[in-house]
Amino acid sequence: MTAARITLPVIVGMMMAQALVLHLLGRVWICSCGTIRFWVGDIWSSELSQQLFDWYTPSHVVHGILFYGLLRLVLPRAPVLVRLAIAVAIEVSWEIAENSPWVIEAYRQQALAAGYTGDSILNSLFDTVAMMTGFTLARWLPWKATVVLVLVLEIAVGALVRDNLTLNILNFVHRFPAIEAWQKGAGR
């Protein structure tokens, strides 16, 4: 059997497990508003983290780029699809943890996430797809282009909505009053 014939069903199985665990955690399948939208651009919308894509999608693309780089360093001889499966396992684990009551409450302490209630299952699955997209881009783009892509995503999203993966991690680890004050001015 080829690596693809083994790895791809494993990835689909992990994503099915992700959906099941999120369902058991009480997450809604789709936005409680009853509609499915391609994009939510309003950082203050109750539909944020509920629809297919939003301002946090680029963070998941960056996850994939970072996972590709890290796994290429740690497991250089492993087939790329095996590394992708490991990256999916990490992302699925994060998506489940991110939607646990403890992490939801920790996020709600941040300036931009005061009303955060967790992801819909649909949004969470598309976050995993975004990570796989980042992983694939890192696989095929020259490393310098990948670094530029990460910088562009982080700077652009940071400038547009005052949040990004870097700020999200910083605020999750330790609250910085200056960052919180700056973020509270976002679009309100």
Residue 106 scores a pLDDT above 60: yes
pLDDT at res. 109: 74
Q: Which residue segment(s) compose the domain that 103 sits in?
A: 3-184
pLDDT at res. 112: 65
Q: What average pLDDT does this structure show over 131-156? A: 97
Q: Do residues 50 and 30 touch, judged by C-beta distance below 8 A?
A: yes
Amino acid 44 reads W
User: How many independent structural domains does the chain possess?
Assistant: 1
pTM for the structure as a whole: 0.91
Q: What average pLDDT does this structure show over 18-46? A: 93
